[in-house]
């Protein structure tokens, strides 16, 4: 009987610690500021400030959406999937190439650190605000 009670207590404790209610991040997130290194050199006045991310679907901590940006007057889009971790960190994988990690900030803001490998390796620090 004692073993059954101990097992029940462990199961309840595990369920309580693993039950995680992720904050909703559904919506449109506009780029407010971006710092970028491309091929090891700082890019002054990066043009990607015209970009935004649309999070269109969220199921618990998992979400999906699309990243949009304008380069050379042409609009580009790329699908993405992501997750909010237990400590409110954000992990995003683009469906073609790059990935980002970051955090939710107060005031409907988020910061993302984006990386992409060769042939044009790049790193961005991007601050976004929800519309």
Q: pTM for this one?
A: 0.79
Tens-of-pLDDT digits for all 131 residues of the chain?
444 343 344 444 444 444 557 889 999 999 999 999 988 899 877 665 689 999 999 999 999 999 998 888 899 999 999 999 998 899 999 999 899 999 999 999 999 999 999 888 999 999 999 99
Domains and CATH numbers, the chain: 22-130 (2.40.128.20)
Is residue 6 within 8 Å of 13, Cβ to Cβ? no
E-strand spans in 51-121?
A: 52-59, 62-71, 74-84, 89-94, 99-105, 109-116
């Amino acid at each position: 009987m004692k073993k059954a009670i101990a097992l029940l207590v462990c199961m309840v404790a595990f369920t309580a610690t693993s039950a995680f209610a992720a904050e909703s991040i559904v919506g449109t997130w506009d780029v407010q500021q971006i710092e970028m290194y491309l091929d090891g050199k700082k890019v002054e006045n990066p043009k990607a400030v015209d970009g935004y991310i649309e999070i269109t679907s969220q199921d618990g901590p998992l979400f999906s959406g699309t990243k949009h940006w304008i380069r050379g007057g042409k609009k580009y889009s790329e699908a993405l999937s992501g997750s909010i971790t237990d400590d409110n960190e954000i992990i995003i994988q683009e469906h073609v190439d790059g990935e980002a990690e970051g955090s939710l900030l107060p005031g409907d803001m988020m910061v993302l650190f984006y990386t992409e490998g060769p042939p044009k390796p790049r790193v961005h620090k991007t601050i976004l605000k929800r519309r």
